Copies of this chain bind each other. A is one copy, B any other.
Amino acid sequence: MGITKTESYTTQTLHLADLFKALGHPARIAILQYISNQTSCICGDIVTELPLSQASISRHLQELKAVGLIKGEISGTSVCYCINPIVLPILIDFINQIHSPSNQTCCS
């Protein structure tokens, strides 16, 4: 992604950007939507659900896991992924913070 001046931002800003970046790909959005629609925590049939190779799905899952958006549990030869809700409030809070009423008055 080219040079990013990582050292110039607060850790909070960098954390938010990492979380949003993980959400910034249609495959990962689709994975999250698929997982959240399963009542039980279905695993690697995401591969059959999405038009990507097993290797690509695995990489996307690792990315989501790295920022804490999902967690995985090994059961036998398969791995069970599910949403990790604890980071979601961080995103909600940021969006609400941006959505403050003081902005409504300008740029008519």
Contact = CB atoms under 8 A, between A and B. Distances in A.
Given A9-B26, A20-B29, A36-B98, A107 B41 contact: yes
Q: How many copies of this chain are found per oligomer?
A: 2
A36 to B, nearest CB: 5
Interface residues of A, number: 58
A48 interface: no
A85 interface: yes
Interface of A: 1, 4-6, 8-9, 13-14, 16-18, 20-30, 32-33, 35-36, 38-41, 50-52, 71-73, 80-85, 88, 91-92, 94-95, 97-100, 102-108
26 contacts: A4-B27, A5-B52, A9-B29, A13-B29, A16-B26, A17-B24, A17-B25, A17-B28, A20-B21, A20-B23, A20-B24, A21-B21, A23-B23, A24-B24, A40-B105, A71-B107, A73-B107, A80-B106, A80-B107, A82-B103, A83-B103, A84-B107, A85-B99, A88-B98, A91-B95, A92-B95
